[in-house]
Structure 1
Amino acid sequence: MIITLLTDFGDFYQGVMKGVILKINPKAVVVDISHSVEPQNVLQGAFLLYNAYRFFPNAVHIAVVDPGVGGKRRALAFECRNHIFIAPDNGIAYPSAKEDGIERVWIIDEGKTSKITGVLSNTFHGRDVFAPAGAYASIGLLKEVAEPYYGDFVKLELFDYIVEGNFIKCRVVFIDRFGNAVTNLKAEEIKGKYIVFEGIKIPIVRCYEEVEKGEPLALIGSFGTLELSVREGSFAEEFGVFSGDLIELKQI
């Protein structure tokens, strides 16, 4: 069984999670989606998970971007048609689970998972809660550390943009390492030939080489959403754009 990991942990912590997983399921194939989600950026984590999970066959996905760690937020497992999602109840797994088709929701018993690690840290539930739950799910024994949950849970909306005629309000959900500003505006909303951003007319192109080096451009990237870029440059740096920004555009 494949188990994927997506966190904002950076270095070290995900390695410990893998150790916990492999103690429970030595045959697990553990794949890192990313550990470079911006700290506490649940929306970005949800977006990256949503754009990755379907490329895995029947996997368990552990997603931990958890500003509420140690607090009252629940730890949940979404059992869906093809995948299982293990995550804090802050919406990070909801868009993916909803798309895959939620069949059952479980609440993870932190007391039971922490018996496996021998500790329940107030700051590292990735190790003490989510990794054990994901490992048990991968061997068909989620019921050993969780019970069915019938209450409400956080429903995060990824595509909360507004389109009114030629005017668009959308969100920058991810700045990649090249400085491209990835938005949550779906490709089907693009009707024009140019995007106007802060008074600058930017051509909508198919690929980067359609503009000169250093020129801004807009295109539909691999996420299937609008991206704002600078050829061989950084749109984010040049235009002062950050992940999470709500931006206003006009298409003409």
Structure 2
Amino acid sequence: MPPFASIATDFGAAYTAICSGVVQRLAPTAKVLVLTDEITPYAIVEGALFLSQALPYLPEGVHMAVVDPGVGTARRPIAVRTERGDVLVGPDNGLLMPAAEALGGAQETHALENPAYQLEKPSTTFHGRDIFAPATAHLLNGADPADMGPKITPLPLNLPTPTRAREGTLTTTILYVDRYGSLILSARADDLDAQEFGTPLTVSWTSKDGTPTAIRATYERTFGSVPKGDPLLYTDSSGALALAINQGSAADHYDLTPGTDLTLRPPH
């Protein structure tokens, strides 16, 4: 079986294709999958959680991921070897760490400093092409991450945690907005204290203009459990709680963005 690589970025199709081309030129026998080029620009948390959900379903291999608002700064390019045997390549900004945990945990991490495994004269703004893609290709060809740079301790991804108050009230944070405008939250199904499907909940937050806002949404098994245009809370395929509108965008309808806290209250 040929060596396998995946690529996930916030670059869009054109710049991601260039990275894929570099990998395929330097590792011509490898199979290279562009997993996505549609991560929201600069959205490290969204990219990290996407990777943690996706990579366990992919073949073992080298997985390059780039969501890198700190490109060209002191942040380090890294390669992370996981317990499953995969190597994750990308920036040291927390992006890779949830996926490493999903693949059994990070075993060792090396900074990508050796110019022998980079393109000549790498740019300060396109490390995907000049550093990450060549490193991915060399790893596919059998290179050892230890030859690429010193062993380091990677930065974690610090995610907000939900908090409970009296009478089952749960406060949780919007982590990211998915393609359909659903709001993926930091809480999980277990945080709802085993609410039954069909349970109505009050969801409240402070709007951008400072106005307190509240809606009623039921906790449902799936989108079609409520009429088109109605809100619902559900558990997504990764186990996270989410707020959605059936066949609509909750993010647009309620003007909500990542980082906003929502408070869920059960019926009294």
The answer to whether the superposition gives a TM-score over 0.5 is yes
Mean Cα deviation higher: 170-179 or 130-139: 170-179
Task: Point out where structure 1 has 5 or more consecutive residues left out of the alignment.
Answer: none
Maintained 8 Å contact 2:109/2:154 = no
Task: Please state whether the residue corresponding to 2:13 is helix, strand or coil.
Answer: coil
Q: Measure how far apart 1:159 and its partner are.
A: 5.8
Q: Measure how far apart 1:145 and its partner are.
A: 5.3
Maintained 8 Å contact 1:136/1:144 = no
Task: Please state whether the residue corresponding to 1:52 is helix, strand or coil.
Answer: helix
Give the alignment partner of residue 71 of structure 2, picking from 63, 69, 76. 69
Name 1:113's counterpart in structure 2: 117
Q: Measure how far apart 1:69 and its partner are.
A: 0.7
Q: Measure how far apart 1:195 and its partner are.
A: 3.0
Task: Please state whether the residue corresponding to 2:248 is helix, strand or coil.
Answer: coil
Task: Please state whether the residue corresponding to 1:238 is helix, strand or coil.
Answer: helix
Name 1:195's counterpart in structure 2: 201
Maintained 8 Å contact 1:133/1:145 = no
User: Partners in 2 of 1:160 and 1:4 — Cα distance?
Assistant: 30
Q: Measure how far apart 1:207 and its partner are.
A: 1.4
Q: Measure how far apart 1:53 and its partner are.
A: 0.8
Task: Please state whether the residue corresponding to 1:51 is helix, strand or coil.
Answer: helix
Name 1:95's counterpart in structure 2: 98
User: Partners in 2 of 1:104 and 1:20 — Cα distance?
Assistant: 25
Maintained 8 Å contact 1:174/1:182 = yes
Q: How does 1:1-252 map to 2 (within 5 A)?
A: 1-82=3-84, 83-99=86-102, 100-109=104-113, 111-114=115-118, 117-143=119-145, 146-149=148-151, 151-158=152-159, 160-165=161-166, 166-190=168-192, 191-192=194-195, 193-198=199-204, 199-252=214-267
Task: Please state whether the residue corresponding to 1:16 is helix, strand or coil.
Answer: helix
Task: Point out where structure 2 has 5 or more consecutive residues left out of the alignment.
Answer: 205-213
Task: Please state whether the residue corresponding to 1:135 is helix, strand or coil.
Answer: helix
User: Partners in 2 of 1:4 and 1:71 — Cα distance?
Assistant: 25
Query: Alpha-carbon deviations, 1:62-121, whole Å to 9, x = none?
Result: 11111111111111111111221111110000111133222221111152333xx33311
Q: How many residues align?
A: 249
Task: Please state whether the residue corresponding to 2:149 is helix, strand or coil.
Answer: strand
RMSD over aligned Cα atoms:
1.9
Q: Write the letter of the residue equivalent to 1:160.
A: T
Maintained 8 Å contact 2:114/2:149 = no
Q: Measure how far apart 1:143 and its partner are.
A: 4.2
Alignment CA distance shift 1:205-1:182 (3 Å): same
TM-score (norm 1): 0.91
Task: Please state whether the residue corresponding to 2:101 is helix, strand or coil.
Answer: helix
Alignment CA distance shift 1:249-1:214 (3 Å): same
Ranges of 4+ aligned residues in structure 1 off by more than 6 Å? none
Maintained 8 Å contact 1:75/1:107 = yes
User: Partners in 1 of 2:64 and 2:262 — Cα distance?
Assistant: 31
Maintained 8 Å contact 1:91/1:154 = yes
Task: Please state whether the residue corresponding to 1:43 is helix, strand or coil.
Answer: helix
Maintained 8 Å contact 2:188/2:239 = yes
Query: Alpha-carbon deviations, 1:22-50, whole Å to 9, x = none?
Result: 11211222112221112111111111111
User: Partners in 1 of 2:228 and 2:115 — Cα distance?
Assistant: 56
Task: Please state whether the residue corresponding to 1:57 is helix, strand or coil.
Answer: coil
Task: Please state whether the residue corresponding to 1:243 is helix, strand or coil.
Answer: coil
Name 2:207's counterpart in structure 1: none
% identity of equivalent residues: 29
User: Partners in 1 of 2:52 and 2:183 — Cα distance?
Assistant: 17
